[in-house]
């Protein structure tokens, strides 16, 4: 990444942190990593920044994950719906996408964005810090894009998400690579594959694989 772009991304990340709903002061009970603050509605422009497509390659990520037509999926921490509308297109009219967030303001923007794209198979869900409020035993896939590291109650959230998956359903995390010193993101917003496995495997989730096709992020797949 060229130097000017690196600086721009680093500064933008700092501004997002200033727009956070809360500053994390807690640590995960297993790995003791610092839990990051949650992005507030004021940081919504960051979610649709022009550079995001090149930095995160959302279509390539979803190709690698594999989204089946007619499936039921959830986008946790969906924000304004950057990944939600892409999921909705991929599952098709016979499928359903739950666009979940803990901030009503984000969901208002998500609903507007879905309406503008004439997407009708998305259901917005207002979750809580310790419960995503999703139906049990119902989901083929739960996707978390740059959001798991912000969970203030990660153990409770993972338990509830696992309960929402169908047997064999997938929980997929996309997280910036903490192993890579060239990723210009604050440390609390990065994770290693080892950290993710150490935190999720004890919660009755089976690690399937890590896909390393994105410029800066891991795709880490678990199954119920």
Digit-coded pLDDT (tens) for 34-81:
999 887 787 777 676 888 888 899 999 999 999 999 999 999 999 999
Q: Which long-range contacts (CB under 8 A, 24 or more apart) does 35-39 make?
A: 35/149, 35/150, 35/151, 35/152, 35/154, 35/188, 36/149, 36/150, 36/186, 36/188, 36/189, 37/150, 38/102, 38/103, 38/150, 38/152, 39/79, 39/150
Count of the separate structural domains present in the chain: 1
What's the average model confidence in pLDDT over 1-7?
Answer: 44
Residue holding tokens 């989901």?
139
Domain that holds residue 63: 3-223
| Per-residue model confidence (pLDDT) at position 1 | 46
Please give the structure tokens belonging to residue 197: 């496995």
Nearest residue to 155 (alpha-carbon basis) of 187, 129, 186, 176: 129
Q: Is the pLDDT of residue 15 over 80?
A: no
Read off the pLDDT of residues 75-114 as tens digits, 9 standing for 90 and up.
999 999 999 999 999 999 999 999 999 999 999 999 999 9
Instruction: Give the predicted TM-score (pTM) of the model.
Output: 0.88
Between 22 and 214, where is the model more confident?
A: 214
Whether 155 has a pLDDT exceeding 70, the answer reads yes
Q: Which pLDDT score, from 0 to 100, does residue 46 have?
A: 66
CATH number for the domain that contains residue 157: 3.40.50.150
């Amino acid at each position: 990444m060229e130097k000017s772009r690196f600086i721009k991304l680093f500064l933008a990340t700092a501004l997002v942190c200033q727009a956070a709903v809360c500053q994390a002061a807690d640590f995960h009970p297993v790995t003791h990593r610092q839990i990051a603050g949650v992005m507030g509605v004021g940081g919504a422009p960051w979610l649709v920044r022009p550079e995001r497509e090149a930095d995160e390659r959302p279509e390539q990520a979803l190709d690698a994950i594999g989204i089946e037509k007619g499936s039921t999926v959830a986008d946790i921490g969906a924000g304004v719906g950057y990944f939600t509308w892409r999921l909705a297109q991929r599952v098709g009219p016979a499928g359903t996408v739950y666009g979940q967030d803990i901030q009503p303001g984000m969901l208002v923007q998500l609903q507007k964005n879905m309406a503008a794209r004439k997407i009708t198979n998305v259901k917005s869900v207002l979750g809580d810090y310790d419960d995503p409020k999703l139906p049990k035993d119902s989901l083929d896939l739960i996707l978390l894009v740059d959001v798991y590291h912000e969970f203030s109650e990660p153990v409770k959230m993972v338990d509830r998400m696992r309960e929402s998956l169908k047997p064999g359903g997938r929980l997929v995390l996309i997280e910036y690579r903490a192993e890579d010193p060239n990723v210009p993101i604050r440390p609390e917003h990065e994770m290693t594959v080892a950290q993710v496995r150490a935190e999720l495997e004890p919660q009755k989730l089976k690690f399937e694989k890590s896909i390393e096709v994105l410029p800066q992020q891991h795709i880490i797949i678990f199954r119920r």
